[in-house]
Amino acid sequence: MSIGRCVWILLLLAVWVRGEDKCDAQEVGEWICPDLFLLGSELSGIMYITEVLARSLGDQIRLPDEGVRGETCGGRLRCEYGTQYFSWHHQKGLAWYKESYGTRNSTEEVGLEVNPQYLAIPSVPFRMQSELLPSRLRFIVAFRNPVARAHAAYRSSIISIGSSSSRIHEAYLAFDFKFSLIARTVGDYVMGCIHLLSHPQHVYRMCAHESKIDQYRNYHASVPETEKAITDFQLIARPFTSGLYGYIMIRWFEYFEPEQFCPLMYENLLDDFEAEIMNLEPCLEAFGATLRKDHYAEVDIIPDPEDCAGCQYFEQLTEDEMAEVGEQLNQKIFGASNDILSELMEANYKRDDIGKWS
């Protein structure tokens, strides 16, 4: 066999393998995969942002058939519409993901995945860069005061506790269901992890609840106040490590350019939804869509209640007690992360409001 023929065979094999490992075609009739991701963070107005996307993109949206969950908003679009392919279902393979979306019917279609859990999983950006068309991708990220978000997640978990045999019941039982104990324990543990690392770039890979070394699954110390062993520490830590936004965004910026992101702030959505939601425009314009007033005029965002009426296990903290918990969390883990986020937002988006939580 001639050298030239061997070269052609190798080139054909390379193209074939690349086609199996990537979903980056834009031609009609080829597989369509997401171009636009609403990444999170969780409990930061995702439902309301999704509704605006549904109205502004309209029939351009292509959604996956797999993994549909959440309440309907914006007509046929779900408020939480994710496959978890780039996180927990990656072992199903790219062919499964492609089939979830099907083939492209027009060049104007925009594949969309709404998955607020993707943001805080360190392996996700690498997988997206490797398997999709990186230059085409756009990401919407909503940030929220990490202390308030962790407390909202705690409240949501307490509401969901329904039986003494549930996984979440057992995990919270070790802390006597108290947010203050959980915050102190997780804060101390994550602070210890961060202090072991010499560069911020390494923090989220090693200290996330889905970390590279998976240390949270193997942590079974006892809580001194209850003398009970900790179980499912990964589940307990997740609401806190998911708020390490500065370290998280350092990780994402390793794989994608800052101009591919549209950052929003939850507190601004509450104060002036119309003004803050306009920060979506660059991500919509990338796909030829525009944001009109009728897309967001009737969207009413409702803040989370601060208490948990009727919740059997909810720890009732006074305003001063909650402030003390927040101060400790900021000193231990969130303060430095917020500073990094603030610098990134100001340098890349000229936003001097995001990350300035106290």
Binding-site sequence positions for 3'-phosphoadenylyl sulfate: 144
User: Binding-site residues, please?
Assistant: 144
Rounded Cα gap, residues 191 and 204, in angstroms:
12
Minimal CA–CA distance to 41: which of 119, 154, 137, 113?
Answer: 119
236 neighbors 230 (Cβ within 8 angstroms): yes
Rounded Cα gap, residues 334 and 262, in angstroms:
22
In angstroms, how far is the first alpha carbon of the chain from the final one? 71
Minimal CA–CA distance to 82: which of 99, 98, 64?
Answer: 64
168 neighbors 161 (Cβ within 8 angstroms): yes
Minimal CA–CA distance to 117: which of 241, 200, 214?
Answer: 241
Close Cβ partners of 110 (under 8 Å, ≥ 6 residues apart): 35, 36, 57, 60, 61, 62, 287, 289
